[in-house]
């Protein structure tokens, strides 16, 4: 019987998308534990964690050396390295691969930074299609409170300061995040994301995600 999974591998590719402060990483960790408890192999791949590229990105950010094109290309290289060395091998082995952010993050960030969305999609045209995409939607005013409570300050790039939206960090953050949310809304319609209210409790969100994953495991069983 032919493999009907959208990416063509034996495993499952599940994505949790959202901006910093949306709670996506918490949900990925909770889902990972649930899947392991159900006796499935599971790995997590996070945005900007390539052993080859992530250090280059961090160094360039610290030295403020990233223009919009190098920003896009370095993150694409980070993803490509993780895809080849972690994601595809795990999918071939029949694992559940959980993505803490996926190519849609690049679609959003790069288009907000001025790149044509068609160019960005072509850049990531080699990416396998996921089985499920969850999107945690949280308004900018709530994100600000969460991030300041967690980090004590707002991130320079997550505030869009690198593209000159405003000299005021809080105002820049609000403008940047609203633009990102607008882009996510477009992608949600195009790619049929499962949109979740990120202001709900962690357990409520987890249960909604878990129900969808249970349905996927039944309809697309892992060999």
| DSSP letters spanning the chain | ----STT-SSSEEEEEE--TTSSHHHHHHHHHHHHHHTT--EEEEETT--TTTHHHHHHHHHTT---HHHHHHHHHHHHHHHIIIIIHHHHHTT-EEEEES-HHHHHHHHHHTT--HHHHHHHTTTSPPPSEEEEEE--HHHHHHHHHHHHSS--TTTTTGGGTS-SSHHHHHHHHHHHHHHHHHHHHHHHT-EEEETTS-HHHHHHHHHHHHHHHHHHS---
pLDDT score recorded for residue 3: 63
Minimum mean pLDDT among 12-26, 102-116, 149-163: which range?
A: 149-163
Residue 130: which pLDDT band, with cuts at 50, 70 and 90?
very high
- pLDDT at 58 exceeding the cut of 80: yes
- pLDDT at 125 exceeding the cut of 90: yes
pLDDT score recorded for residue 42: 98
Check residue 71 and give left, alpha or beta (phi > 0: left; psi -120 to 50: alpha).
alpha
Over residues 67-85, the pLDDT tens digits come to 999 999 999 999 999 999 9
- pLDDT at 193 exceeding the cut of 90: yes
Give the architecture (CATH level 2) of 12-219: 3-Layer(aba) Sandwich (3.40)
Quote the percentage of the chain above a pLDDT of 90: 89
CA dihedral 91, 12, 4, 118 (to 10 degrees): -90
- pLDDT at 140 exceeding the cut of 70: yes
Over residues 34-57, the pLDDT tens digits come to 999 999 999 999 999 999 999 999
Residue 153: which pLDDT band, with cuts at 50, 70 and 90?
confident
- The arithmetic mean of pLDDT across residues 25-30, rounded, is 98
- pLDDT at 170 exceeding the cut of 80: yes
pLDDT score recorded for residue 222: 87
Residue 2: which pLDDT band, with cuts at 50, 70 and 90?
low
Residue 1: which pLDDT band, with cuts at 50, 70 and 90?
very low
């Amino acid at each position: 019987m032919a493999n009907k999974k959208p990416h063509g591998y034996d495993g499952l590719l599940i994505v949790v998308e959202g901006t910093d402060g949306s709670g996506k990483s918490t949900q990925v960790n909770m889902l990972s534990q649930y899947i392991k408890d159900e006796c499935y192999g599971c790995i997590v791949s996070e945005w900007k964690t390539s052993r080859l590229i992530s250090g280059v990105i961090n160094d360039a950010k610290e030295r403020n050396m990233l223009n919009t094109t190098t920003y896009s290309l370095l993150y694409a290289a980070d993803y490509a390295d993780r895809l080849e060395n972690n994601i595809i091998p795990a999918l071939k082995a029949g694992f559940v691969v959980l993505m803490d952010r996926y190519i849609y993050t690049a679609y959003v960030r790069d288009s907000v930074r001025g790149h044509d969305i068609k160019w960005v999609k072509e850049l990531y045209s080699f990416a396998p299609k996921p089985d499920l995409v969850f999107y945690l939607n949280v308004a900018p005013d709530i994100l600000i409170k969460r991030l300041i409570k967690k980090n004590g300050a707002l991130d320079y790039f997550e505030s869009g300061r690198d593209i000159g939206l405003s000299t005021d960090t809080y105002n820049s953050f609000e403008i940047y995040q609203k633009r990102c949310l607008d882009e996510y809304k477009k992608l949600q319609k195009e790619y049929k994301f499962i949109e979740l209210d990120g202001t709900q409790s962690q357990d409520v969100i987890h249960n909604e995600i878990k129900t969808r994953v249970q349905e996927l495991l039944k309809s697309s069983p892992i060999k």
